[in-house]
Amino acid sequence: MSGVKLESIVKAYGAVQVVHGIDLEVKEKEFVVLVGPSGCGKSTTLRMVAGLEEISDGTLTIDGKVVNRIAPKDRDVAMVFQNYALYPHLDVAENIAFGLRIRKESKENIEKAIKDVAGILGLENYLERRPADLSGGQRQRVAMGRAIVRRPKVFLFDEPLSNLDAKLRTQMRAEIKRLHQRLGVTSIYVTHDQVEAMTLADRIVVMNDGRIEQVGSPMELFLNPVNAFVAGFLGAPPMNQIQAVISGGDAAPIAEFAGQQFTLPPLPGLQNAVGRKVIVGIRPEYATPQTKAVEGSVSCTLELVETLGSEALLHTTIGGEPFVIRTETLGNMDQLNAVNGFTADPALIKVFDAETGVALSGQLRVA
């Protein structure tokens, strides 16, 4: 079974440690996305799996074999690079065949492999072109072709779409997903773009400062972030996070902020919590805008309405802090411009400890 297993993987440059002991198991045929802000160690981790960076400590297993000290070429993995690294002096066919030539495959095999790959990726008409004569999307495809032609056990992707424009990125994202479904090869994909992570991943690994913050399916992470970092990282626009203090009793905890009150669900984490400083997290999607005060509503000041067609983002402030509401427009702009408050279902509100950022609220079930 061609899974990848990382056990207490550490990367250090000299005495400075940048990846602090990562544990992760990628199952066979699984598509795992490492996501996090730049400098969080996700690329370094991927490069350690590839064999391009030495593993300072820990054990890396690919397909049941410890590969810590095995050269990249002998790990049977393939990688797609951010800048594609297509050899500019070779044409598309030669780029795709490079690895096979190096490995001294027979001529017929190579030709057949090029044909197959070109067919899969729709590159048949470009085989004799040089990379310089290709569009961004075509280059991206050649880079993938170079990876899949060897039929490796594991695909590694290092921010492969970040050099493309937004439209092409969406298109290539879907193509990568389709390719994975078709070839079923274990894949590890690094990106800083949470949309890519959400759409592509079987499981997402959120990383920060050289550690894993949370691992789970996209919906798990979206609904039940274990801490404020994950909550803020996934979702666009990000979850609103408001500093508040707990008041009220255990049965009906209330978050107080900027002179306003908000009813919280009676979560186990909020027992004996009166006076505790927390962060209240409300996703923009889960706030319902109001034009007049209703029961449980919180008032806010509307600053700006960003219309996206069917949807709109309402940029508001509560006590000077920004708060974003996402809502459907239904074509009624007057209604949106009159918004002066919102309500939220207590069940969808997340509460995090203000000090540690750890989630205090209970779990939402993944539908």
- Can you tell me which of 238, 248, 266, 362 binds other proteins, judged by CB under 8 A? 238
Looking at the chain, the number of H-run helices and the number of E-run strands are 9, 21
Using alpha carbons only, what angle is made at residue 171 by residues 169 and 173, rounded to the nearest 5 degrees?
65
Restricted to residues 335-364, the positions that interact with other proteins (CB under 8 A) are 352-357
Binding mask 83-122 for other proteins (x = CB under 8 A): x-x-xxx--------xx--xx-------------------
Q: Closest approach of Cβ 286 to other proteins, in Å?
A: 17
Q: Which of 211, 254, 302, 313 binds other proteins (CB under 8 A)?
A: 211
237 in contact with other proteins (CB under 8 A): no
The backbone torsions φ and ψ at residue 55, rounded to the nearest 5 degrees and listed phi first, read -90, 120
State which amino acid sits at residue 219: M
**Is residue 232 close enough to count as binding other proteins by CB under 8 A?**
yes
Per CB under 8 A, the list member of 2, 7, 12, 260 interacting with other proteins is: 12
**Which helix or strand (DSSP H or E) is residue 248 part of?**
none
When the beta carbons of 273 and 336 are compared against other proteins, the nearer one is 273
Residue window 23-52: x/- pattern of binding to other proteins, with contact defined by CB under 8 A: ---------------------------xxx
How far separated are the first and last CA of the chain, in Å rounded? 30
Residue whose token pair is 């000077």: 320
Q: Is 228 in the site for other proteins (CB under 8 A)?
A: yes
- Alpha carbons 348 and 326: distance in angstroms, whole number: 15
139 binds other proteins (CB under 8 A): no
Binding residue for other proteins (CB under 8 A) from 2, 3, 7, 17? 17
Q: Specify the DSSP element, H or E, that contains 284.
A: none
User: 3-state class of 62 per DSSP?
Assistant: strand
- Is 46 exposed, middle or buried, given 0-12, 13-18 or 19+ CB atoms closer than 10 A? buried
Q: Is 20 in the site for other proteins (CB under 8 A)?
A: yes
Token digits for 127? 């085989």
**CB 201 → other proteins: shortest distance, Å?**
21
Nearer to other proteins (CB atom), residue 87 or residue 330: 87
Distance CA 187, CA 2 (A): 10
Measured CA to CA, the distance from residue 175 to residue 156 in angstroms comes to: 16
Q: Which is nearer to other proteins, 206 or 300 (CB)?
A: 206
Q: Is 247:256 a contact under the CB 8 Å cutoff?
A: yes
240-247/277-282 β-pairing: antiparallel
Residues 6+ apart with CB under 8 A from 297: 290, 341, 342, 343
Q: In whole angstroms, how close is the CB of 27 to other proteins at the nearest point?
A: 22
Q: Kindly tell me which residue out of 65, 73, 107, 115 binds other proteins, with binding defined by CB under 8 A.
A: 73
**Binding of residue 186 to other proteins (CB under 8 A):** no
Residues at the site binding other proteins, with contacts judged by CB under 8 A: 10, 12, 14-17, 20, 50-52, 56-57, 69, 71-73, 77-79, 81-83, 85, 87-89, 98-99, 102-103, 146, 150, 208-211, 213, 227-229, 231-233, 238, 241, 279, 352-357
